[in-house]
Amino acid sequence: MLSSFSSISTAVSFPDAEEDCVLLWKSLDALRLQNNLAKERGDPEYTFYDGPPFATGLPHYGHILAGTIKDTVTRYAAQTGHYVSRRAGWDCHGLPVEYEIDQQLNITRREQVLEMGIDTYNKHCRSIVTRYTGEWETTVNRLGRWIDFRDDYKTMDPTFMESVWWVFKTLFDKGLVYQGYKVMPFSTACGTPLSNFEAGLNYKEDTVDPAVVVSFPLVDDSDVSLIAWTTTPWTLPSNLALCVHPDLQYVKVKDLKTGKVMVMAEERLKQVWPQMGGKKWKKENEKELFERLDKYKGSDLVGWKYKPLFPYFSSFPGNTFWRVLSDTYVTSDSGTGIVHQAPAFGEDDYRVCLAAGVIEKGGDIPCPVDANGIFTEDCADFKGRYVKEADDDICALLKSAGRLVQKDQIKHSYPFCWRSDTPLIYKAVPSWFVKVEEIKDRLLANNEKTYWVPSHVKEVRFRNWLRDARDWAVSRNRFWGTPIPVWASESFDEVVCVGSVEELRELSGVSVSDLHRETVDKIEIPSKKNPGTTLKRIDEVFDCWFESGSMPYAQKHYPFENAEEFEGQFPADFIAEGLDQTRGWFYTLMVLSTALFDKPAFKNLIVNGLVLAGDGKKMSKRLKNYPDPTLVINKYGADALRMYLINSPVVRAEPLKFQEEGVLGVVKDVFLPWFNAFRFLMQNVERWEGEAGGRFAPDKGKVASSTNSIDVWLTARTQGLIKFVHQEMSAYRLYTVMPELVAFVTELTNWYVRLNRDRLKGTDEDAETGLQVLYDTLLDVTVLMSPFTPFISEYFYQHLRKLQPSYADREEGGRVNPPLPGKSDSVHLLRVPAYDPSLLNDTAVQGFKVLQKIIKLGRDAREKRLISVKMPIACMVVVLPLTAAEILEDVRTKLADYVKSELNSWDVRFVTREEEHEWVKISLLPDLKVLGKKLGKKMSGVKKALVAMTHEEAKKAIADGSAEVGGVTIDFKSEVLSKYTYAKEGDERWEGAVHSDGDVVVAIDTKEDPALVAAGKCREVITNIQKLRKSAGLEMADKVEAFYKEVGAAMGGTLAACIKSNADTFVKKFDGMVPLPEELASSSKIYASATVDIGASKVVISIRPPSVSVASGVGEGPRMFLATVDVKDLERGMALKCNIDGADMELSEGKEWFLNATDRAVAEKVI
């Protein structure tokens, strides 16, 4: 049975074809089928971790990008002989969920949650965590990403949470956990601290805050005050110390206007007297403003005591507050050079005060602000006020006390909560810490064991982050999360860390099936130290980053289940996420795996950059500055979006400004040409089978044995591509793979198919060989591209497979091993092809590159003289001065005909080395960077001498390596810049073009003669006939006859004379058909016609269905009879019998009638 591909539409809808693929994969249960076949074969496992996203929102371009990278790499792994488990995961706990519930329920204070009950609150949280999982699954499947949603994991699963407990318990037992205070970014709207990573997500420029200068009178001399500057007046009630830089110069000055005496940094006098920073300021003017009384080094001020601003903490037990400290973090860039210290609200403040003994590690810190940013009763004057709203009142109170020196405003960059969009504060919170600093050396060592793409993110950004890492606060004072499994006595003199559900049962006697707060908070553990008392669980839950960092273990419920399986697969072979995760998931993975196993959690990592809006700004739903991903997919297809993303700088961790036009460009420049090459093949296979009368059977032997130069090139190029893809994918360099794949598809369609179009339309053995090569290449590329463009590859494969002998076995063998092209039901069940070293041919590949350069330069030369490619030229000259001899010979002997055909040249001449000086000249210039210092004043003379060298002199000097020029010996390899130029510039007859590499020079003969003009006209006729066929919607196999009617004539005679002299050209092009004058047309039916310009004439060209052509002189009766005969029923040599007006007649083919008008024109010597 012959093949049938007539159903392949000329106007393919890629989105529609993709929808069909989604249905196919669903019917196959394709991911599970792929993995089951891999398990059955015993393929080694390739381990992949998917960072869990929150399902409280819909996927955006960032998710699509990361998902595409993950899918491409894991598909490639699966199609190169690996079993790849791809479990979906969901981040269920933490602020994103709680914030939405707080908005829904109008919760603004922690007490409201406690009043409603943690169980009720958590029930609300649980209800929304999977709200969008259905939409996620639909979108992800539509993108072509294969990931298992049925066997997913959730961070709220009891098994996951139990493994998180085990992770913490292991760290606790290793002495890597402690409790302490930490000043952290704090969201008063959410009532919880944030990580530094989260704090950096939402900085706002031009935030306006107060900027005040406050005085601190000395205890020993109340007439003298230290002055400090701050942008957070609300922290002043908690002031415990002042800090100076030990090495800065400080001065004591008297304000001549107010009489006040102040101490401040000398460099910062302009803070109080801004005019000192003006351009017109002169030092002698200062005597009008202040009087200098004394000067000090910063270290001299250390220990000075001052009077507190407020009395709130005067009775704090054992305090040594309100004295001057020193630290080098103080700068002279702004303020007064004296920094007020509120250790409860500043990270540096806490560190400096702790080091100076103002506060003690583990001890209480004066902190009169609650979790909602409200002043407590410890700050009586402002109790119940939100801190930011109290700024003005605090300043007013200080002013009334005579302590406010200056009040102003400042615009600066300030962090806001990424969820509530409210200003963050910095606040000391009691936290549980992992001792990251203690294992820093191991973190750095394990980082060296990993492979990152791009490498600089690992070697600079991530390494620096690890090097400067501080202890990690892993606790949060929230409700919806994994409870920290620590039970303690009220005095904390007895602490128990629980590592499993079973251990909790053993210690408490209570069995649980859920580990959230509403369950475990009620459980008490009898004290072993103080019988009769109990230990209660602490209040905190884990930061959700601790959970995501525990994902490798918790998704498998390690070590309670799957221990052997996990240990054999750890670390993961591959992970991928965005650049922002260097301080997020990548970091938490590394910290926990190092602390637990002294290993990295992963071996290979791809870091992607950020996808921005087209204007370079962050994508914003509010601003609507980017196209909806769903609409883009529905318009262009998921494959186009996938290829656009991974063929961009974003896979090198650089930002991408998303442009919808870029997605359209993939469709136009890659997919449509690829599709056209595929359709061309399938149509010609069907045509070949019909005309040759046999079945087309793919035969790799015929492909490998072809001696056709373009076949050899394409086969070698394909094998080189396969080799390159394997090489680059093993190094995870998607950014090098995609450009090469795109370039190959362009060469396949724009070069191989175009150069072979006429050959592939034949019926002989050479035509079949060409079809074999094209088929083999398209199948290889289809399978090779399938990890990158899964949909279009599947579409092509479903057609290409029908030609394979094993296609007959598809009913029973489509879903079983071994996978084979043809029988296997999906391209994604096949192995990505391995390259065949015996088919690599660098000479052929390099020769074809030379051919491409020659053709481009030939077109450039034509454009210079405005000569259309349709107009033949008599001759062209090619100079290849730098090309290796074997490549030159390959081009000259095997590719010259292609040069002539593409450039419409009757002859091509390759110039020998001995003749090249007639056509090219070596231009020489000194390399100024190298020779400038060496020659000095001699440079001018040497440059003139170099420019004046003849071609032969320059050629010899380059060959020798050095020569004396202008009296100086010059190294021609390192000190001279050389390039070949066209030597006949300005010649009237010859026009030339030089490649930018200087290795190819082409010249064309522009002289015109009648024969060339005639041939050019005929080429235009051919082009217009092809256009008419296309406009009429004709298929390749549809036969037509062409006719013309000319008005006027041009140089070279009439069009009839032109066609007659070039009849052979038409015979070859149109399978024996030659365009004829309209009066020779028999059929009145016209498929299509058009009036076109041929030379200087208007010509009407029409195409018509073939019909019987009646010889001149045949009578009206026989002519009327022949008009009723269908030419499809006739054969060459046939005689037709008929009765005309009672007389029997016999009308013979070739005498009274002909099978077509061309046969008649030849017989009657019209052509």
Which DSSP string do the residues of 108-132 spell out, in sequence order? -SHHHHHHH-HHHHHHHHHHHTTTT
Task: Assign 612 a pLDDT band (cuts: 50, 70, 90).
Answer: confident
Please tell me the predicted confidence (pLDDT) of residue 1051.
38
pLDDT at position 6:
57
* Active-site hit among 621, 668, 864, 1068: 621
Is 1027 assigned a catalytic role?
no
> Are the C-beta atoms of 713 and 848 separated by less than 8 Å?
yes
The yes-or-no answer on residue 621 being catalytic is: yes
| Angstrom distance (rounded) from CA 291 to CA 71 | 72
Looking at residue 621, what is its pLDDT?
67
174 is catalytic: no
Look at 134-138, 228-232, 716-720, 846-850 and tell me which has the smallest mean pLDDT. 134-138
Which among 585, 674, 713, 990 is annotated as catalytic?
585
CB 1137 within 8 A of CB 1144: yes
User: CB within 8 A of 1011, min separation 6: which ones?
Assistant: 1052, 1061
Q: On the CB side of 61, how many CA atoms lie within 13 Å of its CA?
A: 29
Q: Are 739 and 725 in contact (CB under 8 A)?
A: no
In this prediction, residues 77-99 reach a mean pLDDT of 91
> Which one of the listed residues 25, 50, 79, 91 is annotated catalytic?
91
Give the model confidence (pLDDT) of 126-174 as tens digits: 988 877 788 888 889 999 999 999 989 999 999 999 999 999 999 999 9
Q: Residue 1: its pLDDT value, please?
A: 42
| Cβ–Cβ < 8 Å for 262, 402 | no
Does residue 937 or residue 495 have the better pLDDT? 495
pLDDT at 678 over 90: yes
Task: Break the chain down into helix, strand, coil percent, rounded to 5.
Answer: 45, 20, 35
**pLDDT given for residue 1050 in this prediction:** 46
* Spatial distance between the Cα atoms of 776 and 782, rounded to a whole number of angstroms: 10
Could you give the CA distance from residue 143 to residue 73 in angstroms, rounded to a whole number? 15
Q: Give residue 173's pLDDT.
A: 96
Question: Is 91 a residue of the active site?
Answer: yes
- Compare 620 and 592 and report the one with higher pLDDT: 592
- Mean pLDDT confidence for 53-58: 75
Q: What distance in Å separates the CA atoms of residue 378 and residue 384, rounded to the nearest whole number?
A: 11
pLDDT value at 747 more than 90: yes
Q: Of 34, 52, 327, 921, which residue is the catalytic one?
A: 52
Q: Is the pLDDT of residue 1052 over 50?
A: no
How far is it, in rounded angstroms, from Cα 227 to Cα 215? 4
Q: What are the distances in angstroms from CA 609 to CA 453, 738, 787, 1116?
A: 11, 17, 21, 81
pLDDT at site 562: 92
Is the pLDDT reported for residue 409 higher than 70? yes
Query: What does the pLDDT look like over 328-345, one tens digit per residue?
Result: 999 988 899 999 999 999
Active site annotation includes 545: yes
pLDDT tens sequence across 308-321: 999 899 888 778 89
pLDDT at 1023 over 70: yes
Say if residue 1059's pLDDT is above 80.
yes
- Pick the catalytic residue: 271, 581, 683, 804? 581
Separation between Cα atoms, residue 1082 and residue 158, nearest integer Å = 85
pLDDT tens by residue, 632-653: 999 999 999 999 999 888 988 8
DSSP state of 831: P
According to the model, what pLDDT value does residue 2 have?
46
- Render pLDDT for 951-964 as a digit per residue (tens, 0 to 9): 888 888 888 888 88
Residue 192: count of CB within 10 angstroms of its CB: 27
What's 597-655 look like in SS3? HCCCCEEEEEEECCEECCCCCCCCCCCCCCCCHHHHHHHHCHHHHHHHHHCCHHHHCCC
Write the pLDDT tens digit of every residue in 195-204: 766 787 788 8
Tokens of 1154: 């002909």
Averaged pLDDT for residues 980-998: 87
Q: Which of 136, 146, 165, 545 is catalytic?
A: 545
Please tell me the distance from the alpha carbon of residue 268 to that of residue 261, in angstroms, as a whole number: 15
Determine which one of 528, 618, 668, 1030 is catalytic: 618
What are the tens digits of pLDDT across the range 357-378?
998 876 778 899 998 899 999 9
**Each residue's pLDDT tens digit, 1119-1129:** 889 988 888 88
